[in-house]
Structure formats: structure tokens, C-alpha cells
């Protein structure tokens, strides 16, 4: 997977089409024929640019992760710098992202349901995204002065992931707001003696 992709307009069109189809229908349910057709390219062009469907899947997940990180970073940069302000902005950003781009829940969780083999090159992208979120949330717990920032960060991670999945399913009203309420209580909870 070391070869660099030449990001021609057709390669970008193929990546966009793959992203839409993989997210809408599932990775295994979408063949390269459907991606090529939606992108308006030939299968040959798709294989010339990406080499395989596996590489296209990896690039789709890398692109989705990059877009989420850029979006979240931009939101957090202008938010209140306190741990509470950052957490509130993270949940607001996740809510806004889900409303605009996440009607089927988390792309990484969905991909993991189909790709759970650690040897698959996409697996590293999937778990890497979750590891970065966990690190961010542990950092917020540390910033808040929590006695056990790793534990609180992990609890915040569970709240965030639960809200994302629940929002994608439409199972609860305002899952991000509800998760934030609990998360703020965790950040401000006095240390146990």
C-alpha cells in the first residue's frame, strides 16, 4: 500500500463516489462497478488510480477521518478553552456533523462492523480514529483536573461513542445533549476520597 496515488480529478471523483456509496450502502455491498458508474469513470481508471477496492476503502476512511479532524479542530480552536467549553464544543460539533453528514452513524463504527480483521489495512485507520478521540477526551479530563483523567477520559469516550451511534439510529432525542450533561458532571465531579 506504499504507492502514492495520483490525485487527478477522476481519482477525486472516484473517492467521492466511493465515500458516498460505502457510507450509504456498506463497504461489502458496493462493488467497484457501482463506484465507477457513480464517479463517471471506467473500472480501469479506478484500478489505475487505486490498485484495488481494498485501497479505495482505506482512502475513503482516511479521507472521512481527515475531514472530521479538520472540522473538529476548527471548532475547538475558536471554542472556550476550558475543559468544559471544549467538551461542549466537541459534542456540538459531533451533533452538527451527524446532522449534516452522519445519518447512518459513525463511518468508522460501520466500517469496523465489516472489517474487524487487524491485518486489513483499513483496520489501522478505524482504530486510529478512535484512539485519537480517546486521547483528546483524556486530555480534557486532565485539563479539568480530574483525579483519574484516564478513567474519566474513557468514560467521556463511551458517552461520545454512544451518542454518535444512538444519533445514527434515531433511538433517542438529543443524544449529544444528554451525553454532554453527563460528561460535564464527570469533569466537575469532586475527587473521591
Residue 12: name the closest of 44, 43, 50 by CA. 50
Residue 114 CA to residue 71 CA, distance in Å, equals 26
**Count of CB atoms situated within 10 Å of the CB of 87:** 28
Q: What is the pLDDT of residues 63-72, one digit of tens each?
A: 999 999 999 9
CB 100 within 8 A of CB 122: no
Could you give the domains of the chain? Answer: 1-51 (1.10.10.60), 60-188 (1.10.357.10)
Q: What is the pLDDT of residues 9-40, one digit of tens each?
A: 999 999 999 999 999 999 999 999 999 999 99
Grid coordinates representing 65 are 477521518
What is the reported pTM? Answer: 0.91
Q: What separation in angstroms does the CA of 41 have from each of 24, 74, 78, 134, 175?
A: 20, 33, 40, 38, 40
Amino acid at each position: 500500500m506504499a504507492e502514492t496515488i495520483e490525485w487527478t480529478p477522476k481519482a477525486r471523483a472516484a473517492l467521492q463516489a466511493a465515500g458516498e456509496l460505502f457510507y450509504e450502502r456498506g463497504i461489502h455491498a458496493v462493488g467497484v462497478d457501482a463506484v465507477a458508474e457513480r464517479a463517471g469513470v471506467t473500472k480501469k481508471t479506478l484500478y489505475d488510480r487505486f490498485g484495488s477496492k481494498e485501497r479505495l476503502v482505506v482512502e475513503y476512511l482516511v479521507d472521512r477521518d481527515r475531514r472530521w479532524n479538520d472540522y473538529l479542530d476548527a471548532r475547538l480552536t475558536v471554542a472556550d478553552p476550558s475543559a468544559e467549553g471544549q467538551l461542549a464544543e466537541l459534542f456540538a460539533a459531533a451533533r452538527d456533523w451527524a446532522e449534516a453528514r452522519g445519518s447512518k452513524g459513525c463511518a468508522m463504527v460501520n466500517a469496523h462492523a465489516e472489517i474487524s480483521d487487524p491485518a486489513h489495512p483499513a483496520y489501522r485507520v478505524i482504530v486510529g480514529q478512535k484512539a485519537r478521540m480517546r486521547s483528546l477526551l483524556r486530555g480534557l479530563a486532565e485539563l479539568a483536573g480530574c483525579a483519574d483523567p484516564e478513567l474519566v477520559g474513557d468514560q467521556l469516550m463511551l458517552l461520545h461513542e454512544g451518542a454518535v451511534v444512538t444519533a445514527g439510529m434515531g433511538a433517542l432525542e438529543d443524544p449529544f445533549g444528554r451525553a454532554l450533561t453527563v460528561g460535564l458532571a464527570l469533569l466537575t465531579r469532586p475527587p473521591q476520597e
